[in-house]
Structure 1
């Protein structure tokens, strides 16, 4: 854990230097009569809740008018929670402006790409670049900091809420002015902008900054670099709002950490969390599992990436669900065991806080059908009994795990936000590509192989890993290309995929043939892309097949090995999978198509073997069980998650089970059974660093 007195983690009101898991939820007492509050804290004690996020959507209660304030109810709640041993992650309440503010200042409302003004009546109806909104938001932030900065219940500050969930892209005049300022900062001169945006194409050349606008609705395809820069700007505008609130909180309450809840999940990609992670005292994340086959794998991928963003420090699972959500077309409840599995998978990847949206299920409003720790049925329910049991597991069985960090894997999987943005826009050889889907496909291959991998942003320190997979790294600045080249030439094993290394940071194509600055490293050259139509497949001569993409490859280095060739179609006989061994003992491999799961796993097995990386799991568990490892000074903690719908026997594993297993099956005391959707945690002696 961070040292006492640092701002790197929660400031616990009591016994602040003792590591422990935080457990709780978003709490909305303003939705309920005061008579319910006493029952709430009684049930919180029963469930082992020790922290709540408070005040997220309370601005209209706290400030009923421009010059009137009402803190009495919040004073009472803060005191009540403290008296009952519950710490508070206090929100700045700026996520949803009150009706009086948008009535008096409709100019704070966002504007869509087509010029429509977004009305109030939901949430996040504010422009990230509005100076009027910023003034009022910082006013309420200041008022809260001055009133509660010294309250003994205060454990952390929670800036806004899910920044950018609904208002990341604003096309208003405020946004246009801020965008121009951002571009001046980046390019200095209009000529610099013209070069970066290649404005001689389609006669888009600018002669003054006042001519530059956000990429609003146009007659045809909007300038691609303009689109990419607007994505960068939009993320930065929200980050700047985070900074503005954070600076007030740091100045007025210097000992209290500040965070905001990211949304590292699914295809959420509009906020560059690799950049944002440097702006908070600790990383917090919201995640909602996909209710479909493989949803737990995506949860693991997102939790792993959140751990990568946190750079190995403890991070806070701010929101997930006990059961159903309310915002999908169909919202099924979770099956027995899934709530605990989802929670512990986050813990496996470094979370030291497990919290839900929300504490008590709302009786009215847009999220009244969203599950909670206390459901509509009340405490006499399966959900609440499961909540109580999970609290017990975190508090009793896994108490010694709190404060440990995740043990680095030997392989890394890179995720790049610029590439995610660039591949999702128009005017590309294929609109079917998706960086998240490709990265998740490789992550599943690691799970099937039973090999741990760390999911990292491209700006992380990944040079020390034995194998680095960089899928769909489409935007490749020179500095990153040099890092990749130096990594492989220095003995590392690099895997690149199709449509990588194509453009620089200005979205200009690296000329001379694809994949640009990786050509010489990979020992190949591509003159033309060969994207595949939706549903089209291409066969390879090793028995595998690919979708989405193929490449017309010319092998240029005599030492480049062709591991598979195209077996049919116009590319028949051409190289499809290659690997170039390098003099320093490293290698650079290229995968020119999207392989199906089974054959991607087989290819990964060959790549891992070449890098000298094997599975830490017994052979019969590989693919059936996911392994994640946290490590403290005196022990490792192995999290084993059942990826199947059947019980799995854990024979002769080293160490001692702490939770999640039951004695039984063949082998007596040496055998344990891991239930379907179960997670088991084992204490294992630390490995020899020299080994």
Structure 2
């Protein structure tokens, strides 16, 4: 359990007393008490303060603050401070500086500014982590380690150290240069390599360029895919070195680093294997769909098989780096905090506790505003939430969510799709996955978002949107799942390539062809102004006889699958658009095109119902979100109203006690005010 040393939902966030004079510290601590803050994240960007030169270390400020926080009952999430190297390091050891996509060596500045394969960076970052662990290993305030911060936030590095390390990485992965040539199909354009020393990083100086919509294009997808893998692994190696340094002295203290939801550059499934607990930073825009935020929480929870996660950062009010930095309306901060808890968070932490006085985040929201006192709307809302979380105590801690639907999400598949040479730049992997998630969310049907490596045995329905890359063993795994009685859905542009982006010959969808009982002969890419139609042959699949579709249309032939819908237009009018194949005791659905949202919103709940998968409440009004967390046989129903207006929610047979108000909830329905939340301890 994350919260073992402080058994409640942790409440607090990033605190930077190193940026303030000491006369501010005591005033901050006074207001922390008023707000119910009981955890502070320290030392995130204090490397330059802690180590003013190569041989000197000064932790005096940190000693004092650790003691002060502990005396006030506040625990510490202690960061290792290595997310920005000091200026002296850049001046004395230029190997620490990154080289950009076009071959330009960076100068000192920004953050995440270190080459992950710099011997200098690795040496001093590990030394800093170890010194902190040695110093604070027995400090009673220490709750959890926070390694670095938001890894991967800067550009990739293309320096000589990275190039040399990439060659070593390739030798370990492939063994021989002949295997590399086969994997990348280097006979194309005469790119055959004779020695690992011939291989250079794919960049603006070699194989890649920035194309339409900022998308990175490449001549050799296999090479570029491996560089993405290598870059993710390089940063992971840096994390692991610091992890091992602190674990050597504090083996019982959990370790994390803050992830960033669907952050493209790093394969979080691989990272999560080396994290004691997943934590992440949630920064939706004012207009971000609530279902997308929910999907990101579920994605983070799914990284460690449903284990509760930490909400490491969110803003109490407004952000400062988006084009339009709207305020969170009254009640929304509380609502979005509980949305995280509803989906598996056992902490509610902010960036930041006090607003910075200068530089680029001085207008980013904080619990304590620039005015410096507690008489603000934001502080009052934070204090009210702090009191509620204190009242909840440990009731929800380490509770889990149960779902019978899984959506497969794979980072390497994402990379491969979006550096593919066609069929359309409009195809965005996360967007397509979200379409399926959103349809389930609107229906109040719980879904996990999991890796292709996940155990599927507890699910009844598995959705694999745009499974362009089929990794070794995945096709057999899906076949076994369906044979045993499960249902699976896959879509357009699936089953095309293997893990090195080589096409699986013999007809699309490659290794998935037998499971789905179809052959995709061609793939049509529609312009944004073009549409086709899905014409249903089975009226039970939707409320209308036809729906719009577009972007991609696979031209498929049935090879045993039952045709449930056909295309309505173009030269492939009448060809299958939706099929289902009986396979063992289960069934495999193939959706050959990207349909309008209404079709998924009607079809998926009906398919779930046919599998006995029910919504959490009888009907979910628009703007209402529901989840259930369970612990020791007790279920807790969360109901969140994302609308400014009040709403009535039908509960069916559910009844119980609202933990936030102690008011009984019964009679078949409950009413929520605008932006309100109910957590109902259900009667057994």
**Normalized against structure 2, the TM-score is what?**
0.94
Q: 1:487 aligns with which of 450, 464, 481?
A: 481
Render the CA deviation track for 1:70-91: whole Å, top value 9, x for unaligned: 1111110010000000011111
Match of 2:154 in 1: 166
Equivalent in the alignment of 1:564: 565
What residue in structure 1 maps to residue 539 of structure 2? none
Partner residue in 2 for 1:475: 469
Q: Is the 8 A contact 2:272 2:278 kept in 1?
A: yes
| 2:100–2:158 CA contact under 8 A, matched in 1 | yes
Aligned mates of 1:390, 1:470 — CA distance in 2: 38
Alignment of 1:448-459 (within 5 A): 448-459=442-453
Relative to structure 1, is the Cα distance of residues 489 and 383 closer, same or farther in structure 2, using a 3 angstrom cutoff? same
Give the aligned partner of residue 629 of structure 1: 628
Q: Equivalent residue for 1:63? A: 51
Q: Which residue of 1 aligns with 2:383?
A: 388
Match of 1:269 in 2: 264
Q: Report if aligned partners of 1:446, 1:604 keep a CA contact under 8 Å in 2.
A: yes
- Distance in 2 between residues matched to 1:455 and 1:685, nearest whole Å: 29
Where does structure 2 lack aligned partners over 5 or more consecutive residues? Answer: 209-217, 536-544
Q: Secondary structure at the match of 2:532?
A: strand
Cα gap change, 1:76 to 1:668, in 2 (>3 Å): closer
Shift, 1:326, TM fit? 0.9
1:187 aligns with 2:174: yes
In terms of mean alpha carbon deviation, does 305-314 or 480-489 score higher? 305-314
Residues 517-543 of structure 1: CA deviation (Å, up to 9, x unaligned)? 111111110111112122321112232
Task: Provide the residue aligned with 2:286 in structure 1.
Answer: 291
For the 8 Å contact 2:656–2:666, the answer to whether it is kept is no
* Structure 1 residues without counterparts, runs of 5 or longer: 2-8, 687-691
Select the residue among 118, 128, 133 that pairs with 1:140.
128
Task: Determine whether 1:509 maps to 2:499.
Answer: no
Cα distance in 1 for partners of 2:661, 2:670 equals 6
8 Å contact from structure 1 (residues 269, 421) kept in 2: yes
Alpha-carbon distance change, 253 to 663 in structure 1, aligned in 2, over 3 angstroms: closer
For 1:94, the equivalent position in structure 2 comes to 82
> Which whole-Å CA distance do the structure 1 matches of 2:356 and 2:562 have between them?
61
Cα pair 1:661 1:672 within 8 Å, conserved: no
Q: CA deviation at 1:663?
A: 7.7
Structure 2 counterpart of 1:444: 438
Alignment of 1:216-231 (within 5 A): 216-217=203-204, 218=206, 221-231=218-228
**What secondary structure is seen at the aligned counterpart in 2 of 1:137?**
helix
1:237-636 alignment runs, 5 A limit: 237-265=234-262, 268-292=263-287, 294=289, 296-377=290-371, 378-396=373-391, 398-541=392-535, 542-557=545-560, 560-584=561-585, 586-619=586-619, 621-636=620-635
Q: State the alpha-carbon separation in 2 of the partners of residues 508 and 308 from structure 1.
A: 29
Q: Deviations over 1:413-457 (max 9, x none)?
A: 110111111111141211211111011111110012221111112
Residues 662 and 674 of structure 1 are in contact (CA less than 8 Å); yes or no, is this contact kept in structure 2?
Answer: no
Structure 1 contact 179–230 (Cα < 8 Å) conserved: yes
SS of aligned partner of 2:348: strand
CA-CA distance at 1:499 after TM superposition:
0.8
Question: What is the distance in 2 between the residues matched to 1:660 and 1:514?
Answer: 53
CA contact (8 A) 1:662 1:672 kept: no
In 1, Cα distance between equivalents of 2:683 and 2:108: 56
Q: Deviations over 1:590-642 (max 9, x none)?
A: 111111211111121332133222223123x2554222111111411111122
1:318 counterpart SS class = strand
TM-score normalized with structure 1 length = 0.93
Q: How does 1:188-227 map to 2 (within 5 A)?
A: 188-217=175-204, 218=206, 221-227=218-224
- Would the aligned equivalents of 2:659 and 2:681 in 1 still touch at CA under 8 Å? no
More divergent stretch after superposition (436-445 vs 596-605) = 596-605
Shift of 1:393: 1.4
Deviation per CA, 1:488-520, whole angstroms, max 9, x where unpaired?
A: 111100000111111111111111111111111
CA distance in 2, matches of 1:509, 1:181: 26
Counterpart residue number, 1:6: none
Cα distance in structure 2, aligned partners of 1:330 and 1:529: 38
Q: Is the 8 A contact 1:536 1:547 kept in 2?
A: yes
| 1:80 partner SS | helix
Conserved 8 A contact 1:128-1:241: yes
Question: Which of 672-681 and 181-190 deviates more?
Answer: 672-681
Tell me, yes or no, if structure 1 residue 677 matches structure 2 residue 678: no
CA change 1:669–1:380 in 2 (3 A) is farther
Choose which of 110, 118, 124 in structure 1 pairs with 2:98.
Answer: 110
**Alpha-carbon displacement from aligned partner over 1:342-363 (angstroms, at most 9, x marks no partner):** 1111111111011010100111
CA distance in 2, matches of 1:443, 1:644: 20
TM-superposed deviation, 1:406: 2.1
CA distance in 1, matches of 2:432, 2:125: 39
Take 1:373 and 1:194, find their aligned partners in 2: how far apart are those partners? 55
Once superposed, what is the RMSD of the aligned Cα atoms? 1.8
Deviations 1:1-28 (CA, angstroms, capped at 9, x unpaired): 4xxxxxxx3562xxx5xx3111111000
